[in-house]
Structures are given as structure tokens and as C-alpha cells.
Amino acid sequence: MPSVRTLPPESGVLEECDGEAKRDSRNMAYAILCLLFRSPEGEAMPETTGAAPRRGGPANLKALAAHEIRRRVFSGQLRAGEKIDQEALADELGISKLPIREALITLDHEGVVEHIARRGAFVAQMTRDDIRDHYRVFGLVSGLAAERAAKNLSPESLQALHDLADRMESGADRAEQERLNFEFHRRINYAADSRRLVSILGILAKTVTHGFYEAHEDWPGKAHEDHRKILNALSARSASRARSIVEKHFSDGGDRAVALLEKQGFWDS
């Protein structure tokens, strides 16, 4: 199961999935989506195997339960329309039903599950357009951040972005490219100097290109090309161009996410 590292404070690309999901193609869909649908409270999802949950306070147990339900949904273990057995899940995780119920409320807000009166919680339907729309919205807000960053970035910060792009293109392995990509976008988001944009990005989720470096052979080249275009716009202080390039970068990512989920059988009946 992927683990999550939360970067303080809210970065706009808050969490980084890693671990087994990158190595196990059955969980690749979850690696792509686990951070698209996370709670507005900004809770971190704990690392767990599902067999021996890490103990902690109520918030940690709620996060653990939400994390496990997300994993089961996006890996296909729980299918759309399937009822979530709260008692069985509580037994499997070794926790009470209270954090399960709290997690389901959070997941209902995220659109991952839906509550039906007097019947319980069920896995929500999620369409291809839902995925594309989420990426487009993420791109719109990220584009606003890039627009602000074009006006705010210092020469030193711009050079740091160029250095990151150079390292991504220097033959780093796919996992390292993922990490550098995460840092590249995080720095741009911070440079917007807008707590509101950063907060919204934190709610919307995570670096939406996670997993593409390993799942798509042509993605690294496309991402590097986009990063250079973004850097050129930022260096030229062209705010509108930076915004439009970033928007398209994320929109293209949405199409790739849908293609990857289809490959994983996410919508298979």
C-alpha cells in the first residue's frame, strides 16, 4: 500500500504517495488517485499494511480507515455500488467502528462513497469525466499559482527551478523523477505567495502526475518539455503564458490518468 508523506505547511501539492503502489501495477490506479480525493481537513494518511495498523489517537485511526477504504476503491477491491461492510472492516483493521463511521463521512464529502438513508455507505460511481474535471480544476488553480509566481519569483528561485528541471532530465530513475517533479510544482505553488491558492490546492489533492513516469514510457519526455515551457514563461515574467501552459499540463495529465485507470480495469463491470 502506498505511504504518504505530508509536507508542512500546506504546499498545494501536499502529499507524496510512494512505496508499494509504484512497484505493484494492481495498485497504480490507487497511486494516481489516492490524493485526488482527500479530506478538506488536510489529514495525512498513515502508512499501514492493513493487518497491523499504527496506533494513535482518534484522528489517526480515522485517517487509517479512510486510507484503507480509498485503497480498496481505487485498486478495484471495492467496486462502484458495493456496500461497505463497516463491521468487517473494523475487525480487519483491529479498530472500533467509530473511526470507520467518521472516515466514511469524510469520504462522502470527497465523493468516494455515498450514504443512503437506512441502508448504509456505498462506493460512489466515478466517471471518466469526474477524473478529467478534477484534473482540469487542479490545473486552473495551479495555473493561477503559476501566474502569480511569474511576478514573484526571485532570480535565485528561478535558478533553483532550472536546476530541478536539469536533474529531471539528467538520467535520474523514474522514482527520483517523480520526487523532483513534485518539488518543481511545489516551489511554483509556494512562489504564488497566496495562502488561499495554497489552501485550495491542498484540498484538491496532490501532484497529479504521480505514477506517470513509470506507467507511460512517453510521459517523461512530455513532462520535461512542458517544464521547460513553464520555465521559459516564468523567466520571461509572462504571467498569462505561464498560466495557460500549466493549465494544459494538468489537463493532459487528466487524459493520461483516465487511460491508465482504463488499463487497470477501473471501470470494468
pLDDT tens sequence across 106-161: 889 888 899 999 999 999 988 899 889 888 999 999 999 999 999 999 999 999 99
Higher pLDDT, 220 or 159: 159
Fold of 128-263: Four Helix Bundle (Hemerythrin (Met), subunit A) (1.20.120)
| Domain segments of the chain as ranges | 2-123, 128-263
Pairing of strands 120-123, 113-116: antiparallel
pLDDT-based confidence at residue 219 (cuts at 50, 70, 90): low
Q: Say which residues have a Cβ less than 8 Å from residue 219's Cβ, sequence separation at least 6.
A: 209, 212, 213, 256
Q: In 3D, which of 191, 122, 128, 198 has the Cα closest to residue 158?
A: 191
Mean pLDDT computed over 83-94: 96
pLDDT-based confidence at residue 194 (cuts at 50, 70, 90): very high
Helix/strand number for the chain, H first, E second: 12, 4
Lowest mean pLDDT among 52-56, 81-85, 92-96: 52-56
Q: Say which residues have a Cβ less than 8 Å from residue 107's Cβ, sequence separation at least 6.
A: 37, 66, 69, 70, 113, 121
At 58 the pLDDT is 60
Assess whether pLDDT exceeds 70 at residue 195.
Answer: yes
Instruction: Indicate the angle between helix axes 128-152 and 174-191, nearest 10 degrees.
Output: 60
At 50 the pLDDT is 39
pLDDT-based confidence at residue 46 (cuts at 50, 70, 90): very low
At 216 the pLDDT is 54
Backbone φ and ψ of 210, nearest 5°: -60, 130
Assess whether pLDDT exceeds 50 at residue 23.
Answer: no
**pTM (global) more than 0.85:** no
Assess whether pLDDT exceeds 60 at residue 27.
Answer: no
pLDDT-based confidence at residue 187 (cuts at 50, 70, 90): very high
Q: List strand residue ranges (DSSP E) for the chain, in order.
A: 2-6, 15-19, 113-116, 120-123
At 103 the pLDDT is 94
Fold of 2-123: Arc Repressor Mutant, subunit A (1.10.10)
Mean pLDDT for the chain overall: 77
Lowest mean pLDDT among 26-40, 80-94, 113-127, 239-253: 26-40
pLDDT tens sequence across 4-15: 333 333 333 333
pLDDT tens sequence across 49-82: 333 444 556 668 998 998 899 888 877 788 889 9
To the nearest 10°, the Cα dihedral for 225, 227, 232, 233?
120
| C-alpha 234 chain-centroid distance | 24
Higher pLDDT, 205 or 235: 235
